[in-house]
């Protein structure tokens, strides 16, 4: 039988493998590389799911507390042992598109009814139950796309509309983006013309990002748009712009995730391209994740992303790596509890659990 000292040394060896800096490598436009040290010990496996409805968003509060939402009014909760359907005041005709938490007692989810007149839906978790919040009425009806919750008294929702004279397919002639802010007592609405937002990430109530699609007034062509909040106004930020022919509502910036004022990521849908903010400018990188990626940022050298066909990618500070996946369906969302554990959800109710198996096996030896 191995001594405690020997087992502790094994544990420290694995810790060093996980935490040691990686050797430099890769260029700014980097392709998939061999799995770096530590990542090969991180595995993503299917977890039992109580539903078959598509899951659109997951938010991890802690290792024993996570939430997921999706089609058919689905709300799921993970209690540390298993995922279960959780009661919420939404109908089966509601598609919940995003969920975000600031703490175990405060979270928001948004969505839209799938039948006319397509009412928006906002619900809030208070630590005990989900309750309905009235959807504010901006100048135009707004299709809500994403929600960010930076603290327990604030929530930000983004979305917008395209105006088309004919269709489908919709050939946009006008667009209006909406950013709704819950200030703890009421909703404030900020309308931005010729923009439709797809995602928002708020570091605080004075710093955040929103991304989406801009309809160029003079040409009616579509191009990517990144905006930043400074506490008083939203301003466009220069970036490697992606432009599309008029009438093509595709390949927008689908997700944005910020860690701090110097680190943020966003993804170009369908093009295996990510943009990274380094505190000064946005730069372009190639990634192994296809479709409409979802991003989770843990540190400057630890970023995860999921997308179409079960794609899972990892950024180690130098390049993106394709990580083995146990599924081939679309993964819609990823959220990490820590550098050693996370969850991803997607099509058909799929739930993946990611974990650092070596850390789970040996970390208890270190603590003794």
Specify whether the CB–CB gap between 352 and 55 falls below 8 A: no
Beta pairing class for 130-133 and 143-151:
unpaired
- Percent of the chain scored above 90 by pLDDT? 68
Q: Collapse the DSSP code of 5 into the 3-class scheme (helix H, G, I; strand E, B; otherwise coil) and give the result.
A: helix
- pLDDT band at 345; cut points 50, 70, 90: very high
80, pLDDT greater than 90: yes
Q: Given the structure tokens 């135009």, which residue do they identify?
A: 140
Structural domain contains residue 162 = no
The pLDDT score that the predictor gives to residue 18 is 37
Average pLDDT in the 307-311 region? 97
The pLDDT score that the predictor gives to residue 33 is 46
Q: For 99-113, 161-175, 186-200, 299-313, which range has the lowest pLDDT when averaged over its residues? A: 161-175
Structural domain contains residue 75 = no
Structural domain contains residue 333 = yes
How far apart CA 216 and CA 222 sit, in angstroms, is 6
- pLDDT band at 251; cut points 50, 70, 90: low
CA nearest neighbour of 345 among 86, 52, 43? 52
Average pLDDT in the 330-354 region? 97
Burial degree of 97 (CB within 10 A; 0-12, 13-18, 19+): buried
How far apart CA 63 and CA 336 sit, in angstroms, is 9
Query: In b/e form, how buried is each residue of 62-95, taking b as 16+ CB within 10 angstroms?
Result: eeebbbbbbbbbbbbbbeeeebeebebebeeebb
139, pLDDT greater than 80: no
Radius of gyration of the chain (CA): 21
Tell me the pTM: 0.86
Which tens digit of pLDDT belongs to each residue from 13-46? 333 333 333 333 333 334 444 455 567 789 999 9
Sheet containing strand 320-322, strands side by side: 294-299, 302-306, 312-315, 320-322
Q: Domain residues for 339?
A: 30-49+287-368
Q: How many CA atoms lie within 13 A of 84 on its CB side?
A: 7
Structural domain contains residue 366 = yes
Mean of the per-residue pLDDT values of the chain: 86
- pLDDT band at 2; cut points 50, 70, 90: very low
The pLDDT score that the predictor gives to residue 135 is 87
12, pLDDT greater than 70: no
- pLDDT band at 333; cut points 50, 70, 90: very high
Q: How many domains does the chain have?
A: 1
Structural domain contains residue 363 = yes
Q: Collapse the DSSP code of 298 into the 3-class scheme (helix H, G, I; strand E, B; otherwise coil) and give the result.
A: strand
Dihedral (C-alpha) 324, 327, 328, 331: value to the nearest 10 degrees?
A: -90
Structural domain contains residue 347 = yes
Structural domain contains residue 322 = yes
Average pLDDT in the 218-246 region? 88
Structural domain contains residue 345 = yes
- Residue that wins the pLDDT comparison between 95 and 137: 95
The pLDDT score that the predictor gives to residue 40 is 76
The pLDDT score that the predictor gives to residue 269 is 86
The pLDDT score that the predictor gives to residue 249 is 52
The pLDDT score that the predictor gives to residue 142 is 73
How far apart CA 359 and CA 312 sit, in angstroms, is 20
The pLDDT score that the predictor gives to residue 150 is 98
Which tens digit of pLDDT belongs to each residue from 89-109? 999 999 999 999 999 999 999
């Amino acid at each position: 039988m191995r001594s405690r000292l020997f087992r502790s040394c094994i544990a420290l060896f694995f810790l060093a493998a996980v935490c040691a800096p990686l050797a430099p490598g890769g260029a700014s436009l980097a392709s998939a590389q061999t799995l770096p040290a530590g990542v090969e010990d991180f595995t993503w496996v299917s977890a039992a799911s109580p539903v078959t409805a598509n899951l659109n968003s997951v938010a991890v509060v802690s290792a024993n507390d996570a939430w997921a939402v999706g089609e058919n009014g689905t709300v799921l909760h993970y209690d540390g042992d298993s995922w279960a359907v959780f009661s919420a005041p939404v109908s089966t005709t509601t598609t919940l598109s995003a969920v975000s938490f600031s703490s175990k007692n405060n979270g928001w989810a948004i969505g839209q009814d799938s039948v006319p007149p397509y009412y928006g839906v906002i619900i809030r978790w208070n630590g005990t139950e989900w309750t309905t919040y009235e959807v504010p009425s901006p100048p135009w009806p707004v299709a809500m796309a994403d929600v960010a919750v930076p603290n327990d008294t604030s929530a930000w929702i983004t979305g917008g509309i395209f105006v088309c004279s004919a269709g489908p397919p919709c050939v946009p002639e006008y667009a209006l983006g909406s950013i709704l802010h819950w200030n703890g007592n009421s909703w404030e609405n900020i309308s931005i013309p010729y923009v439709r937002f797809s995602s928002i990430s708020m570091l605080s109530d004075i710093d955040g990002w929103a991304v989406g699609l801009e309809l160029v007034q003079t040409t009616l062509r579509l191009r990517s748009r990144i905006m930043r909040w400074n506490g008083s106004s939203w301003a466009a930020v220069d970036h490697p712009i992606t432009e599309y022919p008029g009438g093509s509502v595709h390949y927008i910036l689908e997700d944005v995730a910020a860690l701090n004022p110097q680190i943020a990521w966003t993804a170009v849908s369908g093009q295996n391209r990510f943009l990274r903010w380094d505190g000064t400018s946005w730069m372009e990188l190639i990634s192994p994740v296809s479709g409409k990626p979802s991003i989770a940022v843990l540190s400057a050298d630890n970023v995860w992303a999921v997308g179409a066909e079960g794609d899972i990618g990892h950024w180690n500070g130098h390049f993106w790596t394709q990580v083995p996946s146990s599924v081939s369906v679309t993964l819609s969302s990823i959220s990490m509890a820590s550098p050693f554990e996370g969850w991803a959800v997607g099509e058909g109710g799929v739930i993946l659990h990611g974990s650092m198996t070596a850390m789970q096996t040996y970390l208890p030896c270190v603590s003794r």
